[in-house]
Chain A
Amino acid sequence: MTYTPQLAEHRFGYGLSPRQQGPESAVNMLDTLAGPDRIAQSLPVQSYRALQDALVLRRRFRGFARKNPQTSKGKEADQKQRDIYGQMQAEWRRGFVQIQARRSLTQDAFRERLVAFWADHFTARGKGGMLRFAMTAYVEEAIRPQLTGRFADMLVGCVTHPLMLHYLDQDSSVGPNSIMVRRRDVDRGLNENLAREVLELHTLGVGGPYSQQDVRQLAELFTGLTRSRDYTFVFRRNIAEPGPETVLGKTYGAGASMQYVEAALRDLAAHPATARHIAGKLAVHFISDRPPADLIGALEQTYLDSDGDLMRLYQVLLDHPAAWVSELQNIRPPDEFVSASLRALGVTAQDLAGLKDRDLRDLFFRPLTLMGQSWQQPPGPDGWPEEDTAWVTPQGVAARLEWAMHVPQRLVQDLPQPGAFVDATLGAAAPSEIRFAAQAAESRAVGIGLVLSAPAFQRR
């Protein structure tokens, strides 16, 4: 149960890379994490603002094209709106490439794993049109800068992000007694979706001490949170339900205001049930499906003592003996398996940038779907499953094996010698049957595929 750079990379990053040494110590991991986010600067992704601009522009061209369907100007406009969609789709694919390259090349791999963890906790995705390409920017702007801060800040940022408001229908919820409804007698009303998921998934957890009444009251408190036509966050007083609203016994505001929404979110973040929920999720994700109770207890206590200081939680996680047991536990989810393979193969941003759309589809998007994890399409607001049983299925294992055998040779010019690849990827302590199989394989591609398919690579 001692720290090794190899275990640090394997369990808390994306595995060993031939390009760099693992971190010297857990302290070193945390120091790097607390420092500047270098890899994001060197491998940038498209901003949310750029997507918003494209949304506005495309809407304008579409509107014109619809009004002038049979004219040459109309057809030109229609082509332009298609082009814009195509560009944003290309940016989305480039986002996938950049994210994979970051995971492959970073010296700060724990950061990338934390990004994936919190992006899953605050799952939000676009449900149609070009918003389906927005998740990368959402994660980049609402999750990534908040990784080392306080949970409450991340919560407020994610819950009020336009993509979340869209995903969980908050942008169509209006207070039944709001100014707008009373004045114009419009046929719109309350939608509980976001309020429910904030309580159930983002804060207290489904076992938490809340009732349907709390959901309702929080939904009423949330009215006013919405987005403008270009998907910028706005608080609209005229659609907000006049308060006060009582959530978990605490009453917020007599008039509608963003300040009350934020106060309620911060109170939810500080709730002991939230501490327990977050502690359990971190331990399950990074350690095992059944983590030690004292680890959860220590995380929970630290959360409460530090007002949800995330760096302190990571420190507790890395300080616990369970972090450094040599026995591998959790299966890597498919997208992590693919990223870890790229890292093991030393794949660079240039290698990936050369891939055409069809290559990306055949080499990544389709295989990920077959493995059970379509890229950026989580099944619901609760994100991807954590249990190994969700991933270790005949189909999942078959898809991983297929990928491991056939895809690496299409990504790098010269595949490494399989025997050396065992050492570089799994270290000197690699199980003997893997060493044997890698040598006995009938081709280099099969040898590499066998190493990547081995439980010692698939689990962490």
Chain B
Amino acid sequence: MVAPLFNRRSVLTQAGLIGCSLAASPLVTPMAFAKAPWETRLVVIILRGGLDGLDVVRPQGDPAFADLRPTLNAGNDPIDLNGYFALHSGMAALMPLWHRGELGFVHAVSTPYRDKRSHFDGQDLLEAGTDRLSGTVRDGWLNRMLQLVPGLEADTAYAIGNDALRVLEGPAPVANWAPEANLRLSPQALQLAQLVMERDPQMHAALAEALMLSQDAEGDRRGGRAHEQIARFAASRLRQDARVAAFSLNGWDTHRAQGRALRRSLGVLSDTILTLRQDMGAAIWEKTAVVAVTEFGRTARENGTGGTDHGTGGVMIMAGGAISGGKVHGQWPGVGPSALYDGRDLMPTGDVRAALGWIMRGLTGIGTPDLTQTVFPGLDMGSDAGLLR
């Protein structure tokens, strides 16, 4: 069992392991921090590469669908969801959650990103949460949500894993960690390391945080694949004081042989969700919303190489006891020739930020004005999408 953060902090301070000029380190400054004023948990998973929403939640009931994807639709038995949509069999392990109302989808959504279909810009916009890319906004929307609660404890939010996560970057304190990192230095060596880094606030703060997290992570020696370790670490934090966790999963850019590639990635995502659920325990899972979002969907038609190219509208995946599952939310635009965006992509009928906005509103009590002015500047959230239970 891991000791509460407060105790560790004071132990370290007393042991002289933490220097004094640590204002830049959110985890160890001596100031009193506030706990988040809500009990719910939010997990944001960034699916990098452009998830093909049309392959995951398939509009089997749309007469135009079959012709778009002869190769992709062959030889993969999707699981019926509601008579109209069917789920990719790579997510079969999550069907019990669907039946319990703990798995749901919002279809035909996208960020405001259009036309250039670049991963990097698409991801930047998804994580910035703005309506267009500008050099002026450097922080991510999840960080701006945290900024609305002044003096929040740094271990309220965790960015987990090896990848940079812009969605959580910004002035609000956030902890970053990959479960396999750990420090094996003597107290004296650590003290000297603090000393040599003291003049570099950025490095010094990073080291101080590493120290705290390294002690936390020591309890878990179960090993396993990277995404499982990430999910377990996230769950271990969320069982305690953390309220927000974010990480990313790669492997969605399926230009060719999508049948195989997507199945593998959906397996990883399903594992991740199931691990979160198991390790959080029923009581926390009950209060949790997991949302998986991607930079854009993919072309409605399959390409010449058994895959799909960068598109526009896609799907948002939700899981957890707090969500309104067992449903495919969103406004379905159809995939007939005239319904497609630019004649090629699923037409986005909703802004993924509005869906995220309603979820955050429900989970945290933060009001619509804050969400549409600060978190997602300029967003029209529309009417309540009913995404939470």
Contact = CB atoms under 8 A, between A and B. Distances in A.
Contacts of B116: 200, 206, 211-212, 215
Nearest to A193: B255
Interface stretch (A104-112, A115-123, A141-149, A385-393): A385-393
Interface residues of B, number: 50
Interface stretch (A224-232, A291-299, A345-353, A449-457): A449-457
Interface string A391-416: 01111111101100110000000000
| Most chain A CB atoms below 10 A, which of B119, B169, B196, B250 | B196
A315 interface: no
B183 A402 contact: yes
B339 to A, nearest CB: 19
B255 A398 contact: no
B177 interface: yes
Contact of B189 (A188, A211, A399, A449): A449
A397 B164 CA distance: 14
Contacts of B198: 433
B196 A434 contact: yes
A380 interface: yes
B64 interface: no
Contact of B309 (A176, A191, A382, A434): A191
Given A172-B305, A380-B120, A390-B164, A405 B256 contact: no
Interface stretch (B5-13, B203-211, B352-360): B203-211
Q: Could you tell me the dominant secondary structure of chain B's interface residues?
A: loop
Contact of B210 (A173, A394, A446): A394
A440 to B, nearest CB: 6
Contacts of A174: 304
Contact of A380 (B119, B177, B188): B119
B162 interface: yes
B330 to A, nearest CB: 25
Contacts of A388: 202
Nearest to A441: B192
Given A193-B255, A455-B203, A398 B210 contact: yes
Given A388-B202, A389-B169, A169 B256 contact: yes
Given A173-B304, A196-B118, A398-B214, A392 B203 contact: yes
A454 B177 CA distance: 21
A192 interface: yes
B93 interface: no
B282 interface: no
| Most chain B CB atoms below 10 A, which of A369, A393, A450, A451 | A393
A189 interface: yes
A460 to B, nearest CB: 13
Contacts of A163: none
Contacts of B342: 212
Interface residues of A, number: 57
B184 interface: yes
A395 B210 contact: yes
Contacts of A399: 181
Contacts of B175: 394
A420 B184 CA distance: 26
Contacts of B121: 206
B213 interface: yes
A204 to B, nearest CB: 11
A69 B189 CA distance: 57
Interface string A426-449: 000001011011001110001001
B19 to A, nearest CB: 11
A398 B119 CA distance: 30
A190 B303 contact: yes
Interface string B18-35: 000000000000000000
Given A380-B120, A394-B177, A192 B309 contact: yes
B197 A453 contact: yes
A162 interface: no
B193 A453 contact: yes
B178 A370 contact: yes
A187 B306 CA distance: 9
A389 to B, nearest CB: 7
Nearest to A211: B115
A376 interface: no
B376 to A, nearest CB: 22
A192 to B, nearest CB: 6
Contacts of B182: 398
Contact of A169 (B163, B186, B196, B305): B305
A132 B317 CA distance: 33
B207 to A, nearest CB: 5
A189 B304 contact: yes
Contacts of B164: 385, 389-390
Pairs of residues from A and B, 9 with the lowest C-beta to C-beta distance, nearest first = A189-B304, A455-B200, A188-B304, A394-B210, A398-B210, A394-B209, A397-B206, A172-B305, A395-B181
20 contacts: A172-B256, A173-B304, A188-B305, A189-B305, A196-B117, A196-B310, A206-B116, A211-B115, A382-B120, A388-B202, A392-B202, A394-B213, A395-B178, A398-B181, A399-B181, A405-B185, A446-B186, A450-B192, A451-B196, A455-B200
Interface of B: 71, 115-121, 162-164, 169, 175-178, 180-186, 188-189, 192-193, 195-200, 202-203, 206-207, 209-210, 213-214, 250, 255-256, 303-305, 309-310, 342
Interface of A: 169, 172-174, 176, 187-193, 196, 200, 206, 211-212, 215, 369-370, 372, 379-380, 382, 385, 388-390, 392-399, 401-402, 405-406, 431, 433-434, 436-437, 440-442, 446, 449-451, 453-455, 458-459
Given A193-B255, A397-B210, A433-B199, 18 more contacts: A172-B305, A190-B304, A196-B117, A212-B116, A212-B342, A215-B116, A390-B164, A392-B206, A394-B207, A394-B209, A394-B210, A397-B207, A431-B196, A437-B192, A442-B186, A446-B188, A446-B192, A455-B197
